[in-house]
Amino acid sequence: MAITSWIRTFPLVQYLIAWTQEIFMSVLKTGPVPQHVAFVMDGNRRFARRRKLEVREGHSAGFESLAHILEMCYQVGIKVVTVYAFSIENFKRPTVEVDALMEIARTKLLQIIHHGDLADRFGISIRVLGQRSMIPPDVLAAIDKSTEMTKRNTTAILNICFPYTSRDDIATSMREIVTKSEKHELDPETIDERLLEQHMFTKDCPPLDILVRTSGVERLSDFMLWQSHQNCTVEFVNCLWPEFEPWRFGSILLKWSRSKAVEFRKMEMERDQKQL
Ligand code: FPP
Ligand code: MG
């Protein structure tokens, strides 16, 4: 066991960590809070390799890390969280790993909808974005159950991208538009950025404010390509996803919140000067 994990087993240390986190959260809530945050949860296999664990255990540790981060997001007041849980490209990985990821998704989806678990505690509506036709029937059943059971929750949204790529998202949107156009349900002259956006998997979501990718790799890997434009802050973090602790995300939130506060003040000053 690593020394930091060992220290954390002491109740007093756990109490101090919880207390520090609560103070940190109160500070965060006083400033602007992002509406929509997305994560590329990268580095699970490297985490497993470094600790001589099975790949499946690396992904399980990744889910534990996700659960802590989600808790923090919804406590702070973030409305929508979008996570890259499985890329269409991930089907090219060894069958044993694909099966393990499918099994983690199936069991964890059923876990988070339990009474008193994440979805219930924070009023989260779960949505799974991507190609349903590629998902095995038992996992699809868990997806349908979790989305159905949480569809009336209105406080927050959890978008699980599975199996997803941005280029597929854009192509799917185009296909829907073409079908509607062929049925004369829309005029091709009206096709513009907004219409494409209205047919994408993230159609009902607020604009993406922050996109975080862990593991030190600095690329988007076909995730949120359309959504990460203009005002979206992209943060590449140099730690593996299972080691991405809430304080690391907290410092990203604090930085974003400070920069937004400065932006708002500047806009207010410009408006006041115009009125003089
Ligand atoms: C990327 O790390 C991670 C994944 C492909 C899977 C992430 C999935 C989870 C954390 C489980 C999510 C489950 C639910 C229900 C939301 P990698 O495998 O690319 O690791 P590496 O970069 O070290 O090779
Ligand atoms: Mg990776």
- 26-60 tens-digit pLDDT: 888 888 999 999 999 999 999 999 999 999 999 99
- 8 by DSSP, 3-state: which? coil
C-alpha 58 to ligand 1 mean position (Å): 8
> What is this structure's pTM?
0.93
Q: Which ligand is nearest to the CA of 97?
A: 1
**In the chain, how many domains are there?**
1
Regarding the beta carbon of 165 and ligand 1, being less than 6 Å apart is answered no
How much is the average pLDDT of 241-266?
92
User: Is residue 219, in this structure, part of any structural domain at all?
Assistant: yes
Q: Report if residue 87 sits inside a domain.
A: yes
Would you say residue 7 has pLDDT above 90?
no
Place 118 in a pLDDT band, splitting at 50, 70 and 90. very high
CATH for 86: 3.40.1180.10
Domain with 77, as residue range(s), is 33-164+201-243
> What is the pLDDT averaged over residues 181-210?
97
pLDDT score, position 2: 61
Q: Once rounded to an integer, what is the mean pLDDT over residues 70-76?
A: 95
Ligand 1, atom 15: nearest CA belongs to which residue? 105
Phi and psi (nearest 5°) for 109?
Answer: -65, -45
- Let me know if residue 264 belongs to a domain: no
Within a domain: residue 266? no
ipTM more than 0.90? yes
CB 43 near ligand 1, within 6 Å:
yes
Residue 86 burial (C-beta neighbours within 10 Å; 0-12, 13-18, 19+): buried
Ligand 1 neighbourhood includes 59 CB (under 6 angstroms): yes
In the predicted model, is pLDDT for residue 12 greater than 90? no
Give the model's pLDDT for residue 5.
67
Is residue 25 one of the residues assigned to a domain? Answer: no
Position 69 scores a pLDDT of 96
Which of 44, 51, 139, when mutated, tests ligand 1's pocket best, judged by the most ligand atoms within 8 Å of its CB?
A: 44
Domain contains 271: no
Tens digits of residue pLDDT in 131-190: 999 999 999 999 999 999 999 999 999 999 999 999 999 999 999 999 999 999 999 999
> Which residue's CA is minimally distant from atom 7 of ligand 1?
85
Share of the chain above pLDDT 70, in %: 98
CA proximity to 250, closest of 267, 237, 232: 237
In this prediction, residue 28 carries a pLDDT of 82
Question: Among all chains, which residue has been given the structure tokens 């029937």?
Answer: 137
The verdict on residue 250 lying in a domain is: no
Tokens of 224: 């949120």
> Is 220 domain-assigned?
yes
- Higher-confidence position of 152 and 5: 152
